């Protein structure tokens, strides 16, 4: 479902993002991507969501060839991939419900469907009781849960989360990881980028370690040892 073959991304003029990546992620997997700052994790994520294109090699996601995907298809691809970045912000002047609904409105989806889908995804992240609060009226962990809810509105086949717990304490981090596990159990492939050793070690799932833009280890039930 996600397939990297001999992939390099060199940013102009000469900055290596990733180099010679071979990676295959199957439907339903939960994969953590770890590595030090600058090792290429976000570059890998950006290639998966067609925010960057490979300089060399082939990236395929859900059947699309990222090197040649037409602009039109990028939005179709993005609906199949939920994306969460640490710095993704909610809109301050909208409630949690409205924030999640907005992701559907911009795609021209009508109120009837919105009123069906938004409560469902808010329930998955445990926020149905706080749907009418504004972002500043909930905690950082709850804001991040709302961001996750928003990423689920199109029922993505793949969820890519780049440091989703970066700003959170241990308890909130644990809750977010439990939500990602639940989403994975529903059948969504989860790709989690994290610096958090405890998280990776407690997951006991596949761990891909990057160093200087290349994969140095790829282990099932792996430990984060860097």
Ligand X SMILES: Nc1ncnc2c1ncn2[C@@H]1O[C@H](COP(=O)(O)OP(=O)(O)OP(=O)(O)O)[C@@H](O)[C@H]1O
Q: In what order do the strands lie in the sheet with 30-35?
A: 81-85, 158-162, 189-193, 30-35, 206-211, 214-219
Site residues, ligand X (CB under 6 A): 11, 15, 17, 35, 37-43
In the complex with ligand X, the residue whose CB is nearer, 13 or 110, is: 13
In the complex with ligand X, the residue whose CB is nearer, 23 or 118, is: 23
The interface partner of residue 11, options being Mg ion, ligand X, none and the CB cut-off 5 to 8 Å by kind, is: ligand X
The interface partner of residue 43, options being Mg ion, ligand X, none and the CB cut-off 5 to 8 Å by kind, is: ligand X
Q: For 165, list phi and psi in degrees, rounded to 5.
A: -115, 15
Instruction: Give me the least distance between CB of 178 and ligand X, in Å please.
Output: 23
The interface partner of residue 143, options being ligand X, Mg ion, none and the CB cut-off 5 to 8 Å by kind, is: none
In sequence order, what are the residues at sequence separation of 6 or more whose Cβ sits closer than 8 angstroms to the Cβ of residue 199?
A: 32, 165, 173, 177, 192
Contact between residue 37 and residue 213 where contact means Cβ atoms under 8 Å apart: no
In the complex with ligand X, the residue whose CB is nearer, 39 or 95, is: 39
Instruction: Give me the least distance between CB of 117 and ligand X, in Å please.
Output: 31
The interface partner of residue 95, options being Mg ion, ligand X, none and the CB cut-off 5 to 8 Å by kind, is: none
With tokens 């504004």, the residue in question is 134
Q: For 136, list phi and psi in degrees, rounded to 5.
A: -70, -10
The interface partner of residue 15, options being Mg ion, ligand X, none and the CB cut-off 5 to 8 Å by kind, is: ligand X
Q: For 108, list phi and psi in degrees, rounded to 5.
A: 75, 20
Q: Which of 32, 39, 42, 209 binds Mg ion (CB under 5 A)?
A: 42
144 binds Mg ion (CB under 5 A): no
Bridge partners, residue 193, by sequence? 33, 162
**Where along the sequence are the contacts to Mg ion (CB under 5 A)?**
41-42
């Amino acid at each position: 479902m996600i397939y990297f073959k001999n992939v390099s991304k060199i940013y102009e003029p000469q900055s290596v993002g990733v180099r010679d990546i071979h990676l295959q992620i199957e439907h339903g997997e939960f994969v953590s991507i770890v590595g030090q700052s600058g090792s290429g994790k976000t570059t890998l994520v950006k290639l998966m969501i067609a925010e960057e294109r490979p300089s060399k090699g082939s990236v395929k996601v859900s059947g699309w060839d990222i090197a040649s995907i037409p602009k039109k298809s990028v939005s179709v691809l993005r609906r199949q991939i939920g994306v969460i970045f640490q710095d993704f912000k909610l809109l301050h002047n909208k409630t949690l419900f409205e924030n999640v609904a907005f992701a559907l409105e911009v795609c021209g989806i009508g109120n009837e469907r919105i009123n069906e889908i938004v409560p469902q995804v808010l329930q998955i992240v445990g926020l149905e009781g706080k749907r009418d609060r504004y972002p500043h009226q909930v905690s950082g962990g709850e804001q991040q849960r709302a961001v996750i809810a928003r990423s689920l509105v199109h029922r993505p086949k793949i969820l890519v989360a780049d440091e989703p717990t970066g700003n959170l304490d241990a308890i909130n981090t644990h809750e977010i990881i439990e939500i990602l596990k639940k989403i994975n159990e529903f059948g969504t492939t989860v790709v989690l980028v994290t610096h958090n050793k405890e998280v990776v070690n407690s997951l006991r799932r596949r761990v891909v370690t990057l160093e200087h833009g290349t994969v140095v280890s790829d282990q099932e039930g792996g430990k984060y040892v860097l």
